[in-house]
């Protein structure tokens, strides 16, 4: 296995381990979801927008923005 493939595999394992905590319950989860909703509410989101979500966890914010514009826009999620 090349160093690059080894590095990618290690990152994937690290992400998988951390991702388990993103969909959880409790005060941290509630706080972060509320903070995310607050930030989204500050944006001037309109149909036919371009929205880029780069390495922001589960992509939940992207899903919320999609709801606001009824799926009419360009959405990119790079994790």
- Residue-wise pLDDT tens digits, 35-78: 888 988 998 888 777 777 776 667 788 888 888 887 776 666 66
Residue 1 in tokens: 């296995």
Residues 52, 73 contacting (CB under 8 angstroms)? no
Residues 74, 51 contacting (CB under 8 angstroms)? yes
- Residue-wise pLDDT tens digits, 19-47: 666 667 778 788 888 988 898 899 888 87
Q: Give pLDDT, residue 73.
A: 66
Return the C-alpha torsion angle 24, 14, 63, 45, nearest 10: 120
Q: Where are the domains of the chain?
A: 45-79
Q: Give pLDDT, residue 22.
A: 66
Q: Give pLDDT, residue 38.
A: 93
């Amino acid at each position: 296995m090349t160093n690059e493939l080894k590095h990618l595999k290690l990152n994937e394992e690290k992400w998988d381990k951390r991702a388990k905590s993103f969909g959880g319950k409790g005060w941290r989860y509630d706080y972060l979801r509320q903070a995310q909703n607050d930030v989204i509410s500050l944006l001037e989101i309109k149909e036919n927008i371009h929205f880029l979500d780069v390495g922001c966890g589960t992509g939940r914010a992207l899903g919320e923005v999609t709801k606001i514009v009824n799926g009419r826009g360009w959405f990119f999620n790079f994790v």
